Amino acid sequence: MPSKRRKIFGRRSVVVSATRAAKASETTEQTSLRLSQMASRSAARISMESTAERTERLASVASVMSSRCARLSTEERLIQNSQDAIRVSRARASGSPTQTILRRLRNASTTARSRALESPEQTTSRRLRNARATASSKVSEQSQQTAIRCLRNASTTASARVLESPVQTVNRRFRNSRSTASASESPGVRRARLNNNG
């Protein structure tokens, strides 16, 4: 790398490191304020863009992100993902109950749409993948972590069921029994059943 380019790259690395360090040491209020300011500036800029400008900007962002990802080493990517996760958790912690409900509804809607497009084989593959990941995670847990996870899951389940109407309870039980039966089917049996129903 030529000397001039090395110096520029070195300066950029220092700036990026300083920015990341500053973000990592932010308080929840500072993170919320910064994200709010970024959202306001972004919304103002986007509202004044034409369709062509927006398309060009998105293409440029995609190109920059692609080149950055290619440059980042695995270790740097892990550090960046960890810092992103911290920022997201801070933003969620500072969110109001209404924002939390809206986010969960948005996520549930996206998940439902995605699963509606799955083939039977993809559904089976996803469930097996999830089961393997869960089993692997549980094997590496300490007993204290297991107890905390079980308590957290039980608390979440109890809270959700307290808010259920009788109709929702019946629907949930029916859905669970159907999922259990479906999960035990082989892809061939499931395909035959779907063909018969169709």
Greatest Cα pair distance, the chain, in angstroms, is 72
- As given in the structure block, the two tokens for residue 70 are 């290619």
Digit-coded pLDDT (tens) for 125-160: 988 998 888 888 888 888 888 888 888 888 888 888
Give the amino acid at 175.
R
Digit-coded pLDDT (tens) for 48-101: 777 777 788 788 888 888 777 777 667 777 787 888 888 888 877 887 888 888
Q: What are the backbone dihedrals phi and psi of residue 9, each rounded to the nearest 5 degrees, phi first?
A: -65, -40
- Specify if 55 maps to a domain: no
- Specify if 57 maps to a domain: no
Find all residues with CB under 8 Å of 172, minimum gap 6, and list them.
164
pLDDT value of position 11: 67
pLDDT value of position 9: 58
- As given in the structure block, the two tokens for residue 179 are 């999922």
How far apart CA 154 and CA 159 sit, in angstroms, is 9
- Specify if 132 maps to a domain: yes
44 vs 134, more confident: 134
- Specify if 173 maps to a domain: yes
- As given in the structure block, the two tokens for residue 81 are 């993902």
pLDDT value of position 5: 60
60 vs 12, more confident: 60
The structural domain count of the chain equals: 1
- Specify if 140 maps to a domain: yes
- As given in the structure block, the two tokens for residue 51 are 């369709």
- The half-sphere exposure of 129 on its side-chain side, counting CA atoms within 13 A, is 6
pLDDT value of position 88: 81
How far apart CA 58 and CA 42 sit, in angstroms, is 13
What is this structure's pTM? 0.33
- Specify if 166 maps to a domain: yes
Mean pLDDT of the chain: 79
Which domain covers residue 178, as residue numbers? 123-186
Rg of the chain over all Cα atoms, to the nearest angstrom? 23
Residue 1 in this model has a pLDDT that exceeds 60: no
- Specify if 15 maps to a domain: no
- Specify if 30 maps to a domain: no
